[in-house]
Amino acid sequence: MSAGSVTAHAAPSAWGRVRTYRPPSRYLPVLATCALFFGMFAIGGVRYEGFASSQVVLNLFVDNAFLIVLAVGMTFVILTGGIDLSVGSVVALSTMITAWTLRDGWPPVAAVAAVLVVSTGLGLLMGLVIHYFDIQPFIATLAGMFLARGLCYLISIESIPIRDRTFFDLSAAQIPLPGGLYTTPAVVIALVVVGIAAFVLHRTTFGRTVYAVGGSESSALLMGLRVARTKVGVYAISGFCSGLAGLLFALYMLSGYSLHAVGMELDAIAAVVIGGTLLTGGRGFVVGSVLGVLVLGTIQTFISFDGTLSSWWTKIAIGVLLLAFVVLQRLVTRRQP
Amino acid sequence: MSRVTGHPLFWPLLALALLLVVNVVATPSFLDVRVQDGHLYGNLVDIARNGAPVLLVALGMTLVIATRGIDLSVGAVAAIAGAVACVWIAGGAGEGSAGKALTGCAIALVVCLVLGLWNGFLVSVLGIQPIIATLVLMTAGRGLAMLVTDGQITTVNNATFSRIGGGFVLTLPVAILIALAVFGLTALLTRRTALGMLVESVGINPEASRLAGVRARTIIWTAYVFSAVCAGLAGLMIASNTNAADANNAGLWIELDAILAVVIGGTSLAGGRFSLGGTLVGALFLTTLAATIPNIGIPSETNYLFKAVVVIVVCLLQSPQARASLAVRRRTRPAPVEAGAAA
pLDDT in tens, B34-58: 777 777 777 888 888 888 999 999 9
Residue A72 confidence (pLDDT): 95
8 Å CB contact of B139 and A83: no
| More confident site: B333 or A297 | A297
Average pLDDT in chain B: 83
Residue A89 confidence (pLDDT): 93
Give the integer Cα–Cα distance in Å for A260 and B6.
Answer: 44
Q: Which residues of B touch A139 (CB under 8 A)?
A: 259, 263, 269, 311, 315
pLDDT digits (tens, 9 = 90+) for A95-137: 999 999 999 888 989 999 999 999 999 999 999 999 988 888 8
Residue A314, chain B, CB below 8 Å: the answer is: yes
- A66 Cα to chain B: minimum distance (Å): 20
Q: Which residues of B touch A319 (CB under 8 A)?
A: 136-137, 139-141, 143
Lowest mean pLDDT among A136-140, A235-239, B166-170: B166-170
A322: nearest CB among B139, B270, B343: B139
Residue A202, chain B, CB below 8 Å: the answer is: no
Average pLDDT in chain A: 87
Residue B222 confidence (pLDDT): 92
Crossing angle for the helix pair B174-191 and B216-242, to the nearest 10 degrees: 170
Percent of chain A with pLDDT over 70: 95
Domains along the sequence of chain B with CATH: 45-296 (1.10.3470)
Question: What number of other Cβ atoms are within 10 A of residue B98's Cβ?
Answer: 13
- B171 Cα to chain A: minimum distance (Å): 37
Q: Residues 273 to 302 of A: which have CB under 8 A from any B CB?
A: 273, 279-280
**Searching chain B, which residue's CA lies closest to the CA of residue A143?**
B308
- A36 Cα to chain B: minimum distance (Å): 18
- Over range A81-105, report the average pLDDT: 92
**Searching chain B, which residue's CA lies closest to the CA of residue A232?**
B341
Residue A12 confidence (pLDDT): 65
pLDDT-derived band at A73 (thresholds 50, 70, 90) equals: very high
Angle at A113 between CA A111 and CA A118, to 5 degrees: 95
Backbone angles phi, psi at B158, to 5 degrees: -145, 120
Residues pairing with B40 in the sheet: B35
Residue A18, chain B, CB below 8 Å: the answer is: no
Reduce the DSSP state of residue A33 to 3 states and report it.
helix
When computed from its CA atoms, the radius of gyration of chain A, rounded to whole angstroms, is 21
- A113 Cα to chain B: minimum distance (Å): 24
Highest mean pLDDT among A36-45, A274-283, B105-114, B201-210: B105-114
Residue B337 confidence (pLDDT): 47
| More confident site: B156 or B30 | B156
Question: Is the pLDDT reported for residue B68 higher than 70?
Answer: yes
B297 burial level (CB within 10 Å; 0-12, 13-18, 19+): exposed
Q: How many CA atoms lie less than 13 Å away from A177 in the CB half-sphere?
A: 11
Q: Which of A181, A73, A195, A85 is nearest to A139 (CA)?
A: A85
Residue B338 confidence (pLDDT): 43
Domains along the sequence of chain A with CATH: 25-335 (1.10.3470)
Question: What number of other Cβ atoms are within 10 A of residue B204's Cβ?
Answer: 15
| ipTM of the complex as predicted | 0.80
Q: What are the start-end ranges of the H helices in chain A?
A: 14-20, 28-47, 54-79, 87-103, 108-132, 137-155, 165-172, 185-203, 205-215, 217-222, 227-253, 264-274, 286-306, 312-335
Highest mean pLDDT among A301-305, B109-113, B168-172: B109-113
Give the integer Cα–Cα distance in Å for A151 and A125.
Answer: 15
A326: nearest CB among B128, B308, B322: B128
Q: Which segments within B230-339 are labelled E, that is strand? A: 244-245
Residue B2 confidence (pLDDT): 63
pLDDT digits (tens, 9 = 90+) for A193-238: 999 999 999 999 999 999 999 988 889 989 888 899 999 999 999 9
Residue A320, chain B, CB below 8 Å: the answer is: yes
Residue A336 confidence (pLDDT): 52
CB-based contacts of B140, cutoff 8 Å, min separation 6: A315, A316, A318, A319, A320, A322, A323, B76
Residue B337, chain A, CB below 8 Å: the answer is: yes
Question: Is the pLDDT reported for residue A37 higher than 70?
Answer: yes
Residue A83, chain B, CB below 8 Å: the answer is: yes
Q: Is the pTM of this model over 0.95?
A: no
pLDDT-derived band at A1 (thresholds 50, 70, 90) equals: very low
Residue A144, chain B, CB below 8 Å: the answer is: yes
